[in-house]
Amino acid sequence: MIPSDTPEIAAALAHPQWRDELLTEYAPLGERLNPLMPCIEWQVQLPWIDAILKLKRQRGAVILAHSYQTPEIFHGVADITGDSLALAQAAATCESDLIVLCGVHFMAESAKILAPHKTVLIPDPEAGCSLASSITASDVLELRRQHPGVPVVSYVNTSAAVKAVSDACCTSANAVQVVEAMGSERVIFLPDAYLGAHVAKHTQVEIILWHGRCEVHEKFTAAQARHARERFDAKLLAHPECPPEVLAEADFVGSTSAMTNWLDRERPPRVALITECSMADNLRVRFPETSFIKPCNLCPHMQKITLPKIHAALLHRQHAVEVPPEIARKAKRALQRMLAVGRRETV
């Protein structure tokens, strides 16, 4: 049953309508988003933003948004923004018992694992991840059979079931530290082959790779990177999920949070973020003096999260994420082992 005993909830049952007063009410937000979207698009998105914010307050909900979410979500309705593990940690520590996770499914699973007594909603349960779908728990068990006694480190971009049969999780920022913390001469690293190869270059531990790849980052080419540098005199920042020939062109290789820290420290006049497009759009607000040069690619799964779907998730409390207790218990152990390892920057 959907409660409708307040004017705000009753109004939210209808499709949000444009009101001229919204332009004045949300003028500061409009100024922030003005460089990121056409005026006509802002007028389409604003009624949804208004309805979501009112409904969020009525529900006592917290909205968490990944850095790859579009600006109207990232800046317009999110309470907490960041990378996948940071959002999961925020889910565990925030006061609200109702969380809307604006990201892909493995992120919502991680939030539920670390906050098992809270309700975690995902606006579109079909928002997946090519890395997470590239390996199953059965695949991991077969790798263990082929390499008895060798510990398994799984990237956080994996399902709860895969995490549950892993010894530890890692992010792109702390992968080397987690691998070395296993105390083994050999480590099975999954699922991203490019990230694993990058880790192998920075450790003496022998890395046994899986063949997964991120469908966003694997598309980048060295030629695109060189073009951005030569045409625009831009600094190149690349995510380690990119192919090795792209990483070789980069001025800096690191996780999304590490890229942000680099920008904050270096303040370059022009930069190309070789990662998902929405991240550059969102960072333009924080670093207005820096010109962000493409190439970039959009994640089709992240794009499935929209304002109308967030509104529907809140309104109907729909698409609650559940993780079977035994899987959650084992996956939480792998996540906590990662958290115990020094550096905690996120993917």
- 336, part of any domain: no
Q: What mean pLDDT is reported for the chain? A: 92
Which pLDDT value is given to residue 38? 79
Which pLDDT value is given to residue 140? 98
Which pLDDT value is given to residue 14? 59
Domain containing 52 equals 7-128+302-316
**pLDDT-derived band of residue 39, with 50, 70 and 90 as boundaries?**
confident
Helix (H) or strand (E) holding 272: strand 270-274
Among the three residues 153, 180, 213, which one is the final residue of a domain in this structure? Answer: 213
Place of tokens 């939480």: 332
C-beta of residue 347 within 8 angstroms of C-beta of residue 171 = yes
User: What is the CATH number for 242?
Assistant: 3.40.50.10800
For the cut 50, the answer to whether the pLDDT of residue 3 exceeds it is: no
What are the angstrom distances between the C-alpha of 15 and each of 4, 39, 120?
15, 21, 24
In a shared domain, residues 168 and 234: no
C-beta of residue 234 within 8 angstroms of C-beta of residue 228 = yes
C-beta of residue 137 within 8 angstroms of C-beta of residue 164 = yes
Q: What is the pLDDT of residues 190-228, one digit of tens each?
A: 999 999 999 999 999 999 999 999 999 999 999 999 999
Which pLDDT value is given to residue 36? 83
**pLDDT-derived band of residue 248, with 50, 70 and 90 as boundaries?**
very high
CA pair distance 208, 91, nearest whole angstrom: 33
Mean pLDDT of 274-282: 91
- 226, part of any domain: yes
CA pair distance 93, 208, nearest whole angstrom: 35
Q: CA gyration radius for the chain?
A: 21
Q: Which strands form 98-102's sheet, in the order they lie side by side?
A: 80-82, 61-66, 98-102, 119-121
**pLDDT-derived band of residue 151, with 50, 70 and 90 as boundaries?**
very high
Helix (H) or strand (E) holding 262: helix 256-266
**Number of domains the chain is built from:** 3
